[in-house]
Amino acid sequence: MRKVAIVGGGLTKFGVRKATYKELAQEAGKAVFEDVPNLDKKDVDSLFLGSAASDRMAFQSYPAPLVAEQVGVQPNKVIMRTELACASGQAAMRAAYGSIASGLSDIALVMGVEKMNTPNMAETQTTMAAVMDREWDGVNGMSAPPFFALVMMRHMHEYGTTREQLGMVSVKNHDYSASNPFAQFQKKFTLEDVINSVEISKPIRLLDCSGITDGAGGIVMTSEDRAKEFTDTPVYIEGLAQCNMGSLVSNLPSLTTWKPMKKAFRAALMMAGKDIYDMAFAEVHDCFTIAEIIAYEDGGMCKKGEGGKFIEEGNPYVGGRLPVNTHGGLLGTGHPLGATSIAQTVEVIEQFRGEVPEERYVGGEWALTHNLSGNANVHSVLVFRRGG
Amino acid sequence: MRKVAIVGGGLTKFGVRKATYKELAQEAGKAVFEDVPNLDKKDVDSLFLGSAASDRMAFQSYPAPLVAEQVGVQPNKVIMRTELACASGQAAMRAAYGSIASGLSDIALVMGVEKMNTPNMAETQTTMAAVMDREWDGVNGMSAPPFFALVMMRHMHEYGTTREQLGMVSVKNHDYSASNPFAQFQKKFTLEDVINSVEISKPIRLLDCSGITDGAGGIVMTSEDRAKEFTDTPVYIEGLAQCNMGSLVSNLPSLTTWKPMKKAFRAALMMAGKDIYDMAFAEVHDCFTIAEIIAYEDGGMCKKGEGGKFIEEGNPYVGGRLPVNTHGGLLGTGHPLGATSIAQTVEVIEQFRGEVPEERYVGGEWALTHNLSGNANVHSVLVFRRGG
C-alpha cells in the first residue's frame, strides 16, 4: 500500500455567490493549479468530485465530467462523483485515497463543488429534507435544524449544557472566520448576538447554524514518491476511518452520544498511532453549535457531558489545549456540502505551511478533520501529518 | 496491492416495479446474502452504493446509509454513494476495488439501486435531461434519445450502417433476455418488430432503446486471500480503466468514434495482459442499438465502420466469434442506471459458475464488462478472470 500525500489545494470565496455551479468549479480549479504550479493538467489521471446536491440545486445529475471540462482535465484512470450528504467531499478524498494507495491512480484532483443559493430557496429546503428517510422522517418535517434541535435540547437536559456554552462555539468560530478570506461570514459576533439571534427551530437560533453556501474547492492527491515534485510541505494521510450506524431517526441508539463518531475517531487515530491530544488542532463538523460540543466529547477531548465546560474553560481556542476549527468551522466559513471537507483540508495545508494569519496560527505536525452527515449516522475522520 | 475478488451477488427482478427504492434495496440485499451464505453481515466493513438518480426520482439525497439500514449492515470502514450517471454501479465497484486493493476495506458490499418509474414520469424525463450540461445542451432539448439519434444517423451516413444491422442488435439481446429471469423484457422480437416499432427520436425507434427500469443488485467484493471463505469460484478483477473526454456535446471530437472507449478498452485489457479476443464474452453498454455497434468497433472487435457487418456476419452471438451481451444487455434486461453494472457483473459470475440456461451459456475463463455514461464522454471497463 502506497502512502498518500496531499500536495496543495485552493478554494473559491464561500458565500451567496452570483456564480453558477460551473463557474464555481472553474474558479476552484484555477485556485488549485495556481497552488500547485508544477502540475501539468495532462498529468491529472483521476478526478473525484464531492457534490451532494447538484441534481436538485444545480440541475446537474452527472457533474463529474462537467467539472473535468471546466477545470481542463481529461482523466484516463478514474472519474466519479461521490455523495455522502455533508461529508461528500471527504468521501471523494477517501475514494481517491484507495485509488492512489492501491496504485490505480497516480495524480488525483479531488474537488468539492456546491451551488446552494438558487432563485427558488424552497427547492433548497426540500432538497435538504430529502437527506432524511423520506417515507418516515422527511414527511414528518424532519430535516437538519429540527433534528439538531432535538439533539441540543436533549443534551441540555441530560448534561446541563447551557445556552451560553453553546453560544461560545459560534462566537469562537466566527472570531476565526473573520480573518479567513474564503469565509462566508467574515464578521465577529458577541455571545449576546448569538443568544438573541432569531429562533430557527427551538432551541436552535440563527447563529447556532452554519450557512446555506455556494462554494467550491480542490486538492491534489498523489503518492508519497511523487509528492516532492510538487511541494516541500506534503501533507500525509496517516489515518482514516468512517463508521455508520442506522438511518431512521427512531433507530438511533442515542441522540446525544454518537457511537459511530467515537468509533471513527478511535479507529483513525489508532491507524495513525496517535492520540487525540497528539493533534495540534482539529477541524470538526460544526454544522450546528451542538455538533461541536458533542465532537469535544465523542471525539475524546473531554468526558461525556462535559463539552460545554470544555469550551467554557478555554480548551478549544488557539492557545488552548486543543484548538478546534481554526478556519472558522462551518459556522463561520459556511457549509457548501461537498466543498466543506475540502475547505477543512485546505486549512490543514495552510496551517502546516504557516500561511494563516498569526491570530489563528497553530502549525504543528499533526491534525485531524471530521465530518458527520445526515442525522449524524455516519462519521468520517482523517488524520494528517506534516511532511517535508 | 492486493488482488480483488468478487465472491457472489444477486439481483431483484428488473422492470416496472411496485416496490419503493427501499424495498428494492431490501430485495437485492436478500439475494446477495443468499448467494454468499457464509458471509456474516457483521463482517461487511464497507458499503459502496451506485445510484444515479435517487435525488430526483426517489426523493432520497443521501441513500447510502438508507440502503445500509435496509440490508442490515453497519459499515465501519467505508460507506459512500458513487454517481456516474449510467455507469454509477461500475463507479461503486471501482471505489470498492481501490479500497480493498489498498487494504482499507476487507469485505465490501457493492450495491446498485434505482427507482425510475414514478407517478410523475415527466420528472423522470426531466432528470434524464439533467445528465447533459444543462446550460448548453439540456436547455436545447438534448437528452439521451436525441443524442444517440444524432450518433446513429451519423454512423449510418458515414459507414453505411443499415437499419437492419441496427435492428439485429435488439433482436439478439431480446433473444437472450427472454431466458433471463431478472430481465424487464422476457420476450423475443423479430427484426420487423424492431424496425416498425414507434419512432422515438429519428432514426431511433422504441426497440432501439433500453427501458426505464426499477431494479437493484449487489455483489460482495473482498481480497484474494479471503475469497475462498465464501466461494469455490471467485471472480478476479484483473484489469480496469476509465477514460473521459469532454462534457459539452459540441466539444466531442467525433459523434461516431468514441476515443475514450478505445482508450479504456485498451488500457483495461493491457492491465490484464489480454486481448479482446481472449475474452469468452463481453457485456457492453447497449443503452441504444447504435451503442453496441460502436462498441464492436471502438472495443476492438472489428474495424471502424464495420460494426454493422460484424453482427450481420454472426460474430457477437453465442457460438460466434465473441458473444456480446449474453444476459440480454440493457436493451433486453432494462437499464436501472446504478444497478446496470451490477447486473452485468452478476452475469459474469453466473457464466463462470455455469448457472445460465444452456442456450446462452458461454462459460470460459475471461470476460469484460463496459459502461458508457452521459453523451458517451466517459467509458468504464472491467476485465474479469474466473478463479477456483
How far is the C-alpha of A94 from the C-alpha of A380, rounded, in Å? 9
Catalytic residue among B155, B285, B335, B379: B335
Whole-number pLDDT of residue A333: 98
Which of B43, B113, B39, B45 has its CA nearest to residue B78? B45
Contact between A293 and A167 (Cβ < 8 Å): no
Q: Measured between alpha carbons, how far apart are the two ends of chain A, in Å?
A: 20
Whole-number pLDDT of residue B106: 98
How far is the C-alpha of B256 from the C-alpha of B158, rounded, in Å? 9
A327 has pLDDT over 90: yes
Contacts of B279 (CB under 8 A, 6+ apart): B322, B364, B366, B367, B368, B383
The continuous run of DSSP H or E covering A244 comes out as strand A235-244
Whole-number pLDDT of residue A126: 79
Contact B127 A374 (CB under 8 A): no
ipTM for the whole predicted complex goes beyond 0.90: yes
Contact between B296 and B147 (Cβ < 8 Å): no
pTM (2 d.p.) = 0.98
Contact B130 A79 (CB under 8 A): no
Contact A102 B105 (CB under 8 A): no
A56 contacts in chain B (CB < 8 Å) = 55-56, 61
Catalytic residue among B86, B209, B287, B302: B86
Residue pLDDT tens, chain B, 388 long: 899 999 999 999 999 999 999 999 999 999 999 999 999 999 999 999 999 999 989 999 999 999 999 999 999 999 999 999 999 999 999 999 999 999 999 999 999 999 999 888 887 777 778 899 988 998 888 999 999 999 999 999 999 999 999 999 999 999 999 999 999 999 999 999 999 999 999 999 999 999 999 999 999 999 999 999 999 999 999 999 999 999 999 999 999 999 999 999 999 999 999 999 999 999 999 999 999 999 999 999 999 999 999 999 999 999 999 999 999 999 999 999 999 999 999 999 999 999 999 999 999 999 999 999 999 999 999 999 999 8
Q: Which three cell numbers stand for residue A161?
A: 449544557
A55 contacts in chain B (CB < 8 Å) = 53, 55-56, 61, 127, 130
A65 contacts in chain B (CB < 8 Å) = 244, 246-247, 373-374, 377-378
Angle between helices A88-101 and A337-353 (to 10 degrees): 60
Contact B95 A95 (CB under 8 A): yes
Sign of the Cα pseudo-torsion (B277, B279, B281, B287, in order): negative
B340-372 tens-digit pLDDT:
999 999 999 999 999 999 999 999 999 999 999
A174-201 tens-digit pLDDT:
999 999 999 999 999 999 999 999 999 9
The continuous run of DSSP H or E covering A272 comes out as helix A259-272
All structural domains of chain B = 4-120+215-227 (3.40.47.10)
How far is the C-alpha of A114 from the C-alpha of B177, rounded, in Å? 41
Among the partner-chain residues A101, A134, A373, the one whose CB lies closest to the CB of B59 is A134
How far is the C-alpha of B228 from the C-alpha of B133, rounded, in Å? 45
Q: What is the 3-state secondary structure of B80-103?
A: EEEEECECHHHHHHHHHHHHHHCC
Whole-number pLDDT of residue A369: 98
Q: Provide the pLDDT confidence category of residue A118 given band limits of 50, 70 and 90.
A: confident
B132 contacts in chain A (CB < 8 Å) = 62
How many C-beta neighbours within 10 Å does residue B188 have? Answer: 14
Helix (H, G, I), strand (E, B) or coil at B202: coil
Contact A62 B245 (CB under 8 A): no
Look-up of cell digits 436525441: B146
Q: Which three cell numbers stand for residue B379?
A: 467509458
Percent of chain A, pLDDT > 90?
94
Average pLDDT, integer, range A208-214: 97
A347-382 tens-digit pLDDT:
999 999 999 999 999 999 999 999 999 999 999 999
**CA-nearest residue of chain A to B266?**
A76
What does pLDDT average to over chain A? 97
How far is the C-alpha of B388 from the C-alpha of B379, rounded, in Å? 30
Q: Which three cell numbers stand for residue A171?
A: 462566537
Q: Provide the pLDDT confidence category of residue A202 given band limits of 50, 70 and 90.
A: very high
Contact A83 B80 (CB under 8 A): yes
B202-238 tens-digit pLDDT:
999 999 999 999 999 999 999 999 999 999 999 999 9
Contact B74 A98 (CB under 8 A): no
Contact A247 B66 (CB under 8 A): yes
How far is the C-alpha of A27 from the C-alpha of A31, rounded, in Å? 6
Torsion on CA atoms A241, A245, A248, A250, rounded to nearest 10: -130
Helix (H, G, I), strand (E, B) or coil at A134: coil
Whole-number pLDDT of residue A125: 79
CA–chain centroid gap for B183, Å, is 13
Torsion on CA atoms A92, A94, A96, A98, rounded to nearest 10: -150
Among the partner-chain residues B52, B78, B83, the one whose CB lies closest to the CB of A94 is B78
Helix (H, G, I), strand (E, B) or coil at B109: strand
How far is the C-alpha of A293 from the C-alpha of A165, rounded, in Å? 9
Average pLDDT, integer, range A275-290: 98
Contact between A118 and A125 (Cβ < 8 Å): no
Give the CA distances from residue B146 to residues A235, A274, B149, B202, B332, in Å, rounded to whole numbers and listed in that order.
Answer: 46, 56, 5, 8, 21
Contacts of A104 (CB under 8 A, 6+ apart): A46, A77, A78, A98, B94, B97, B98, B101, B240
Q: Which residues pair with A209 in a beta bridge?
A: A288
A292 has pLDDT over 90: yes
Contact between A57 and A20 (Cβ < 8 Å): no
How far is the C-alpha of A370 from the C-alpha of B139, rounded, in Å? 39
Of the residues A23, A47, A83, the best mutation for testing chain B's interface (the one with the most B CB atoms within 10 Å of its CB) is A83
Whole-number pLDDT of residue A83: 98
In the annotation, is A157 catalytic? no
Mind telling me how many Å the CA of A171 is from chain B's nearest CA? Answer: 31
Percent of chain A, pLDDT > 70?
100
Contact A66 B133 (CB under 8 A): yes
Of the residues B67, B83, B136, the best mutation for testing chain A's interface (the one with the most A CB atoms within 10 Å of its CB) is B83
In the annotation, is A370 catalytic? no
Mind telling me how many Å the CA of B151 is from chain A's nearest CA? Answer: 19
Contacts of A195 (CB under 8 A, 6+ apart): A163, A164, A167, A205
Whole-number pLDDT of residue B33: 98
Contact between A279 and A300 (Cβ < 8 Å): no
Whole-number pLDDT of residue A329: 98
**CA-nearest residue of chain A to B100?**
A98
Whole-number pLDDT of residue A388: 83
B247 contacts in chain A (CB < 8 Å) = 65-66, 68-70
Contact B247 A79 (CB under 8 A): no
How far is the C-alpha of A51 from the C-alpha of A112, rounded, in Å? 6
Mind telling me how many Å the CA of A128 is from chain B's nearest CA? Answer: 8
Among the partner-chain residues A65, A240, A267, the one whose CB lies closest to the CB of B378 is A65
Contact between B369 and B344 (Cβ < 8 Å): yes
Residues in chain B: 388
Among the partner-chain residues A62, A65, A103, the one whose CB lies closest to the CB of B1 is A103
Mind telling me how many Å the CA of A251 is from chain B's nearest CA? Answer: 9
